[in-house]
Chain A
């Protein structure tokens, strides 16, 4: 229809809906006006007033039909009918408050249980980038055998930017970097997060600053020339109180003055899920920031620190873009074999980047969401069962309605409206439940240096999805009962209150529901138990050191580059720091490491070629995770050296290169032989030879899910690193050492920032206790809720059967059946259903177990203990649920039962 048409009609429709009474009176008025004139005319023509009146009404041809016709003309019938249905439904639901409450709670639990994992799933996978037309933005990655999502170097980025044609713009940015920030030169720097971005970053992503401006291309051309900075909008609010005059002001970052040129748009928080940068700085200023000190950011082709993103040109097919970049990747490998051998390039969509196989978070979200949907399904089957029972009890009412001419479709609509009201009530309560769950997730504190944002929230997307699912569940649990109950044999239906012609089929439906419930809750219980056991397994080994170290070790991270130390000065600082800390009373030992075990930062990957090891035919180098530590490390953190020795202070830059490997590494490359004295070459066949001098125990290095891996330790004196963690072990409480250590640092350099000081217990609690605990709790809650729902469902079924068969039971008892026989009769069916459900549940449990093991725990096989615990529990509990109403039946007095009905 044309807009001009709407101009006239829309106000009328709105008026008919919202001023219904007014419209009706006007209609009455209009018709009365007509009738009065008609009667007047008749009287003037000589009729008696009564006769004139009669004829006037006759000419109208049935006043009420006319009015109905006129109402039809308003075309809002669908709505008024719906409103009537809702009114009717709420009235009839109010009449059975117990049942209503039960269904609402059931659905609320189901929807609430899905809302929390949905918010995780959304945040981790589906929420679009906070930029206009986010679907056009893809990530360009370097691919190697060890990492299919690797970054690019600055050189590679320039080549890509200049050669690809599929994009409107290709931008690059680093990961979030710690930066020392002081609003005025005299202040001691505070630690903040900064992102180095290419000059076209804001323009290509179409998130140009609203206040001030974004970068000009020439500001990102000459290294070190243009110290300009764009502030993150949240930082601008919290630090500068949203003062727009901040543009043009000078702030100090890592000891250098930067001019603020703009403030990023509200709501733009980079393309990362967890990070919200406070500063955006051009790539050309990389020299002032903490990039890899072993490489040269602007010239080394293998200094891969940049995430490259492109905004696809409109009309460009993704496939073409992929092909183009793959070709370029092959060119790189041909032209620069030294740095790009066995390396390719690929385009990844947002979904692909967020579901990297190495990341455990999104897998959790997927598993939780799937399990939560099973709970919702159980809840729906429960509600469906109850609605079915209710519909059967209403057979007579429905038969009467059909008999007096209600259309079947109209009745189905009415019944569906009822379940919709139920489901929406349940959905709203469910959102409240979900809100509580999400709020609990947000209280998580992650011990990172720069505050990490917890991206899970109850936003419009999650809200819509939750309410959408409650409407779907209304359809799911209402449609079947509605169609069933409107297919009534009128004659029989009118005769008895509770009798259906196809009772057998209906019972079949209910039975299937119970079987499904039992099976699904069994599966959920098994899943939560598998998860619990999996965590236990991961926690049971490789953590001995941590349980001992957690209360005694203090961590403090330093990065002297923040205060412009060069390599030599940095080394001297660390040396003095450790020496002086060791002298403090109460200090048992002190050490340096790049990262504490179980820490949040990733490990360096080191490439090497072992001597006397037959390399796989298709590889030139092997890779392993590695840490750079000093001589006190193994003692301080408590990782035992099983063979050989740890590092000594004599392993300095002048001495032969040495390394310590873990057991896994030793067995991997020198199986059956002694790894001590074996050598490998760093970087490649022609690299420095390094001798293995010790074998350390396997421990958990990163998150506790990662399976056993190779690990390599190298002495910091031979491989200087700027960014290190000082670990201090005390005789008593670790936090007591905080003040003495601060004194030492202040005496060395009062400006040196200590990034994130904490006791090892804090890290331990996060990685070992809280994270797995939350996961177990979530899955456990899901399982418990499902079990509860299954119990309620079974109890409902059996007690419903009992009430229907009261008369039959009475007769049986009157002719001599004993209570035990009755018990067996009533419980028999319930137990048969439980048995069938259990079989299905075990089968589903196996499937889920396999999926979870391969996704999370890197384990195989079936954990029989899981089923040995879960199945008897399930059977016992469901038997109890059937037994309670069955016992009631067995106690029926025959005289009472026969009088029933």
Chain B
């Protein structure tokens, strides 16, 4: 029940890095963003979101900061570090390679 079965291993990391690359966000906002940008196709359990975020933080790819939200509450905002930006580049390149390879294979078998 922990890992979303429909997400390829490591994909969640990539998604989170990508989302945080656009702007710093807190956990709740990230979960909303995840839901909306993937058009509800990718089901990310809210439970696995926080362990994933903390793992990225401990890896040094994102960093956290307590800030005021728009309705004046304190929340933990995550943002990308320099290392994270580099990691995002490699991971997305990997992803491009992998997905194009897979779609290539898929097309082959249909032909």
Contacts and interface: CB of A to CB of B under 8 A. Distances in A.
A59 B47 contact: yes
A33 B28 CA distance: 8
Contacts of B63: 8
Given A33-B73, A37-B28, A61-B45, A66 B58 contact: no
A8 B84 CA distance: 11
Interface residues of B, number: 27
B2 interface: yes
A5 B83 contact: yes
Contacts of B58: 9, 12-13, 73-75
Contact of A61 (B47, B54, B82): B47
A34 B27 contact: yes
Contacts, number: 71
A26 B59 contact: no
A30 interface: yes
A843 interface: no
Interface string B74-87: 11100001110000
B97 to A, nearest CB: 24
Nearest to B51: A69
Contacts of B28: 33-34, 37-38
Interface residues of A, number: 27
B89 interface: no
B59 A61 contact: no
Given A4-B83, A59-B45, A33 B55 contact: no
A30 B27 contact: yes
A869 interface: no
A75 B73 CA distance: 30
- Which interface residue of B1, B51, B63 has the most chain A CB atoms within 10 A? B51
A73 B55 contact: yes
Interface in B49-102: 50-51, 54-55, 57-60, 63, 66, 73-76, 81-83
A66 B74 CA distance: 22
Interface string A57-70: 00111100110011
A31 interface: yes
Given A29-B76, A60-B46, A70 B26 contact: no
Contact of A34 (B46, B74, B81): B46
Contact of B76 (A5, A8, A9, A26): A26
A413 B50 CA distance: 31
Contacts of B59: 9
A73 B45 contact: no
Contact of A70 (B45, B51, B75, B76): B51
A60 B47 contact: yes
Nearest to B27: A34
Contacts of B48: 61
Interface SS of A by simple majority: helix
Given A4-B83, A30-B27, A66 B60 contact: no
- Which interface residue of A26, A62, A66 has the most chain B CB atoms within 10 A? A66
A69 B52 CA distance: 9
A527 B57 CA distance: 63
A73 B1 contact: no
Contacts of A33: 26-28, 73, 75-76
A574 B55 CA distance: 89
Contacts of B76: 26, 29-30, 33
Contacts of B54: 70, 73-74
Contacts of A74: 54, 58
A30 B47 CA distance: 13
A337 B98 CA distance: 84
Contact of A62 (B27, B47, B74, B75): B47
Contact of B31 (A4, A29, A34): A34
B27 to A, nearest CB: 5
Nearest to A1: B60
A60 B48 CA distance: 8
Contact of B57 (A5, A12, A62, A72): A12
Given A30-B76, A33-B73, A70-B51, A8 B81 contact: yes
Nearest to B62: A8
Interface string B1-44: 11000000000000000000000001110010000000000000
Contacts of A73: 51, 54-55, 57-58
Nearest to B73: A33
Contacts of B26: 30, 33
A8 B27 contact: no
A88 to B, nearest CB: 27
Contacts of A29: 74, 76
Nearest to A61: B47
Contact of B51 (A8, A30, A59, A66): A66
Interface string A30-46: 11011001100000000
Given A5-B83, A34-B28, A66-B51, A59 B60 contact: no
A5 B74 CA distance: 28
B43 to A, nearest CB: 11
- Which interface residue of A8, A61, A75 has the most chain B CB atoms within 10 A? A8
Contact of A8 (B31, B47, B50, B83): B83
Contacts of A62: 1, 47
A313 to B, nearest CB: 45
B73 A69 contact: no
A5 B59 CA distance: 8
A31 B47 contact: no
A64 to B, nearest CB: 11
A62 B1 CA distance: 10
Contacts of B50: 30-31, 34, 66, 70
A363 B63 CA distance: 62
Nearest to A72: B51
Contacts of A7: 60
A66 B27 CA distance: 14
Contacts of B55: 73
A794 B70 CA distance: 76
Contacts of B75: 30, 33
Contacts of B74: 29
Contact of A69 (B2, B31, B46, B57): B2
Interface in A477-509: none
B60 A8 contact: yes
A258 B73 CA distance: 81
Nearest to B60: A8
Interface in A70-124: 70, 72-75
Nearest to B76: A30
Interface in A1-20: 4-5, 7-9, 12-13
B98 to A, nearest CB: 24
A79 to B, nearest CB: 14
Nearest to A59: B46
18 contacts: A4-B82, A4-B83, A7-B60, A8-B63, A30-B27, A30-B75, A33-B26, A34-B31, A34-B46, A59-B45, A61-B46, A62-B1, A66-B50, A66-B51, A73-B51, A73-B54, A73-B57, A75-B58
Given A30-B27, A34-B27, A62-B47, 9 more contacts: A7-B60, A8-B83, A30-B26, A30-B50, A33-B75, A59-B45, A61-B46, A62-B1, A73-B58
Q: Which 8 A-B pairs have the closest CB atoms?
A: A8-B60, A61-B47, A69-B51, A73-B54, A73-B55, A37-B28, A70-B54, A9-B60
Interface of A: 4-5, 7-9, 12-13, 26, 29-31, 33-34, 37-38, 59-62, 65-66, 69-70, 72-75
